[in-house]
Amino acid sequence: MASETVESTAATDRRSVTERLGLDSEAIRGWLTVLPVILLYLFVAVTPIAFAFYASLFEIPLLAPEWTFTGFSNYVEVLNMGSFWSALWLGGLFMVGSTVLQLLVGLWIALVLNKISYGQRFLTAVAFTAYLVPTVIVVLIALFMFDVEIGVLHIAGSNLGLWGERTFALGDQTWAMPLVVLIGSWKFSIFVTIFTLAQLRAIPERFYEAAKICGASRWEMFRDITLPRIMGVLLIAVLLRAIFMFNKFDIIWMLTEGGPAGATTTLPILAYRTAFLENSYGLANAMAVIMFIFLAIGAYCYFRAFNPAKEVDT
């Protein structure tokens, strides 16, 4: 009698749990199909972030991995580092400069692409070209073009008096950061273009015709018809560009390795240096956690402001 009761409660419990999770055979098969994705995410995203937080509580010389628990002292150390604050400042500068430039150029290209009637397909291909040329190739071409001996841009710049004849522009204190921003924007401006273009093409031509009849100038048409309609997508592009550029490592590292004398050392560069050149793996993970917090704030803004899933649905 007693055992029966226990059994039956267990059975109802089991049913209620499976019901609550909605685990019939269809659901199980559904979850099985997405299992590989979950595993990949666990392995490559969730674990590393948890691990980074854990490792940031230790002092870990990378070459002799002996972990010494130090609590939050890595964070205290990071916040007391002059180089951290200068990297944050330079990273902000790099982020804002790149985002503004890419927004302006990207939008400009999109408007041109949308209006020209000849060579549209060609120009679209050209624009895509810049986006698809691998970063390393962009860097190699840039290094070649700024070469002190034979670089075409180096010669042009020194003839214009921008820098000396023997000055490697990317190794110059004043020029390194602006040039890294420019070279990065050569590649990434098109991101904004592609984002905007579909939206631009969706604006009905009759709006412009009506405005023309009312005697609106081109600027007024842009301000009152085009801009309000692409504002949403532009904001998304700006937010994404800002997040991506703040976390940019590859193009800066390949062009300057953070130099000269730290002039292009942004947060990702500083974290990489700390881990692999200064051998302080725990400290570097504290920086990774701080970068992750920035990312999370950016992601939160992104999801709060735009609800991308809803937009994908429509």
**Range 233-252, binding another protein (CB under 8 A):** 233, 236, 240, 243-244, 247, 249-250
Subset of residues 90 to 109 that bind another protein, contact rule: CB under 8 A: 108-109
Cβ-contact 224, 207 below 8 angstroms? no
CA atoms within 13 A on the CB side of 107: 15
Stretch that binds another protein, among 85-93, 161-169, 220-228, 302-310 (CB under 8 A): 302-310
Give the nearer residue to another protein in terms of CB position, either 36 or 82.
36
Token pair belonging to 276: 């692999």
Give the nearer residue to another protein in terms of CB position, either 9 or 18.
18
Q: What is the DSSP string of 254-268?
A: HHHTT-STTTT--HH
| Closest approach of another protein to the CB of residue 85, in Å | 19
Give the nearer residue to another protein in terms of CB position, either 7 or 235.
235
| Closest approach of another protein to the CB of residue 51, in Å | 4
Give the whole-angstrom CA distance, residue 205 versus residue 224. 14
Give the nearer residue to another protein in terms of CB position, either 194 or 211.
194
Give the whole-angstrom CA distance, residue 130 versus residue 113. 15
| Closest approach of another protein to the CB of residue 166, in Å | 16
Subset of residues 9 to 68 that bind another protein, contact rule: CB under 8 A: 21-22, 26-27, 29-34, 36-37, 40-41, 43-45, 47-49, 51-52, 55, 65
| Closest approach of another protein to the CB of residue 6, in Å | 29
Alpha helices in the chain (DSSP H): 2-21, 25-41, 47-55, 73-80, 82-115, 120-132, 135-145, 152-159, 176-201, 205-213, 218-221, 227-246, 250-256, 267-276, 281-306, 308-313
Cβ-contact 106, 196 below 8 angstroms? yes
Give the nearer residue to another protein in terms of CB position, either 1 or 150.
150
| Closest approach of another protein to the CB of residue 160, in Å | 16
Subset of residues 109 to 148 that bind another protein, contact rule: CB under 8 A: 109, 112-113, 115-116, 118-119, 121, 123-145, 147
205 binds another protein, rule: CB under 8 A: no
Whole-Å CA distances, 178 to 58, 137, 146, 173, 174: 37, 19, 14, 10, 8
Which residue among 194, 216, 225, 238 contacts another protein (CB under 8 A)? Answer: 194
CA atoms within 13 A on the CB side of 173: 1
